[in-house]
Amino acid sequence: MAKGPAVKVEGAREVRKALKAVDGGTRNMTNVHRAVAQSVVPAAVGRTRRGRTGALASSYKVRASAAKAAITSALVYAPIQEFGWPRRGIRESLALSGAVESERGAIVDQYTRAVADVVERAQEGRS
């Protein structure tokens, strides 16, 4: 599977460090990362170019851990469709990147609620 550029969240390291100081740490974030990535997939599917089979749009998989989430595709041509290949006349689609950008507000809201919940639980003494 080709490994392409990732979306980097500025300040993520500092947030993880602060969450580790809170009882329960970032292990509570795996489900949040998964939910955020899953919320982006429908927008990405809608932006994905359709070939004869539509295989690319149906190939997106979500992977999540305590530290991050990723939307991947095992199809070898997925990065080419996303980022283009000018020498071959293939323009970038930016389906995933555009989906993340279009869902930015919802993503921020989901993370804001999740972090507030972790902090609230820590203040109440539950993890």
What local confidence, expressed as pLDDT, does residue 48 receive?
A: 95
What pTM does this model have?
0.73
User: What are the boundaries of each domain within the chain?
Assistant: 23-118
Count how many residues are written for the chain.
127
Looking at residue 104, its pLDDT comes to: 93
Give the pLDDT means over successive 10-residue stretches in the chain (127 positions): 62 71 64 93 94 92 91 95 96 95 93 83 64
Q: Among residues 30, 34, 103, which one has the least CA distance to residue 70?
A: 34
Q: What is the pLDDT of residue 26?
A: 53
